[in-house]
Amino acid sequence: MSAKTKLVLGLVGAAAAGVVVGLLLAPDSGTATRRKIADAAGDWTDHLSDLFSSAKEQVDDLKKKGYKAASTASRRAAEVKESYM
């Protein structure tokens, strides 16, 4: 896992913990607090799902670019090999 990924996950985790602590310390009833926690958890789940989906798309794009670069390099290597024969 890269340092950037660890940083993002750490920030998301810290923010989620902050939301939960804030809700637990709020002067609402238990039912209202649980509802708020469930809503916040749902929002975070949606956000993380979008984040992972975006990351998957970026990885797929990088994979395609890698295959294209490898194909181009292979073709060029074959051309150089042919020019020396």
pLDDT tens string 21-57: 877 777 777 788 778 778 888 888 888 888 888 888 9
Does pLDDT of 15 surpass 80?
yes
pTM of the model: 0.48
Q: What is the pLDDT of residue 65?
A: 94
Which of 54, 75, 52 has its CA nearest to residue 83? 75
| CA 7/CA 68 separation, integer angstroms | 31
Q: At what angle do helices 30-84 and 3-25 cross, to 10 degrees?
A: 170
Domain spans of the chain, in order of start: 3-84
pLDDT (0 to 100) of residue 63? 94
Average pLDDT taken over every residue of the chain: 84
Distance, in Å, from the CA atom of 60 to the CA atom of 79, rounded to the nearest integer, reads: 29
pLDDT value at 72 more than 90: yes
Six token digits for residue 30 = 């238990």
